């Protein structure tokens, strides 16, 4: 009779625990709380911090390495790599970089540059290749944008519009950017939401892109999508000084109040 194999800690690994460790460390690296070149704490320390076993920690580190955030070398430990090594189009990495506070405007503008490279070309290809169902998805998303009654439904419809165009290219490599574009859109919308007219004023450009795709006019579709992205880039570029001015005004107000209360 064969002996039963002993259970290992790996057999009790739960994906949720791995995710918790991965997300926490990923955010700390992305937000520079664990700077480039720094060694991550030893495995026993991480196990104690998160209350997990060695297998969970190792799987999380393996995922960080796969995303380009860290290098793992025997007898040298795990070190944070420079940002240019990171998989910046990875959904997780993008979400960690933008964080939960006010995102970095320079990063957002860099993201917009990537969109400007990908999405106008995608719109042109969609005009040439879209099927009847593709065009239906694009137009349905546009209609939802035009009738949106609140911020959440407007954002959902806008994302659906851009992703439907990406799918309509029928290019598997471009479609591989779907997750990144989804995250990018979420990130940009979080900041653009506070800009007057960011959504309504850009609807005609979206409609022009949809119409050009419906007509099969690749150049018009490309130009319309460039206008869509150009408007968003304009809003993001002009919001930075507005935020700085608001911060200066707030600081000045606090300073004035303090002076008034000096005995």
pLDDT in tens, 48-80: 999 999 999 999 999 999 999 999 988 889 999
Q: Choose among 197, 198, 115, 201: nearest CA to 162.
A: 115
Beta bridge partners of residue 72, listed in sequence order: 78
What's the average model confidence in pLDDT over 82-98?
87
Percent of the chain clearing pLDDT 90 (strictly above)? 56
Q: What are 241's two structure tokens?
A: 């000084």
What's the average model confidence in pLDDT over 244-250?
44
When comparing pLDDT for 89 and 20, which is higher?
20
What is the residue extent of each domain of the chain? 11-85, 102-252
The most confident of 83-87, 182-186, 211-215, by mean pLDDT: 211-215
Residue 4 has pLDDT above 80, yes or no: no
Report the top-level CATH class of 11-85.
Answer: mainly alpha
Domain over 102-252 is classified CATH 1.20.120.530: yes
Tens digit of each residue's pLDDT (9 = 90 or more) over 141-198: 999 999 998 888 988 999 999 999 999 999 999 888 888 888 888 777 766 666 667 7
Residue 103 has pLDDT above 90, yes or no: no
Residue 20 has pLDDT above 50, yes or no: yes
Confidence at residue 108, expressed as pLDDT on a 0 to 100 scale: 79
What's the average model confidence in pLDDT over 89-93?
85
Residue 257 has pLDDT above 50, yes or no: no
- For 71, phi then psi, to 5°, come to -115, 140
């Amino acid at each position: 009779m064969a002996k039963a194999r002993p259970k290992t800690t790996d057999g009790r690994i739960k994906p949720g625990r791995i995710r918790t460790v991965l997300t926490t460390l990923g955010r700390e690296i992305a937000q520079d709380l664990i700077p480039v070149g720094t060694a991550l704490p030893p495995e026993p320390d991480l196990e104690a911090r998160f209350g997990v076993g060695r297998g969970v920690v190792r799987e999380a580190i393996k995922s960080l390495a796969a995303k380009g955030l860290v290098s793992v070398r025997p007898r040298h430990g795990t070190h944070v790599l420079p940002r240019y090594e990171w998989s910046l189009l990875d959904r997780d990495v993008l979400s960690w970089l933008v964080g939960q506070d006010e995102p970095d405007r320079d990063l957002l503008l860099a993201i917009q540059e990537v969109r400007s490279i990908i999405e106008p070309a995608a719109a042109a290809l969609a005009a040439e290749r879209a099927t009847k169902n593709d065009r239906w998805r694009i137009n349905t998303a546009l209609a939802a944008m035009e009738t949106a009654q609140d911020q959440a439904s407007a954002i959902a419809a806008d994302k659906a519009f851009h992703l439907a165009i990406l799918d309509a290219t029928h290019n598997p490599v471009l479609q591989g950017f779907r997750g990144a574009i989804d995250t990018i859109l979420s990130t940009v919308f979080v900041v653009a939401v506070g800009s007057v007219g960011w959504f309504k004023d850009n609807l005609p450009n979206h409609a022009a892109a949809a119409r050009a795709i419906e007509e099969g006019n690749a150049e018009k579709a490309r130009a319309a999508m460039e206008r869509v992205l150009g408007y968003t880039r304009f809003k993001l570029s002009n919001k930075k000084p507005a935020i700085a001015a608001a911060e200066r005004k707030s600081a000045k107000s606090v300073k004035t109040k303090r002076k008034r209360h000096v005995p």
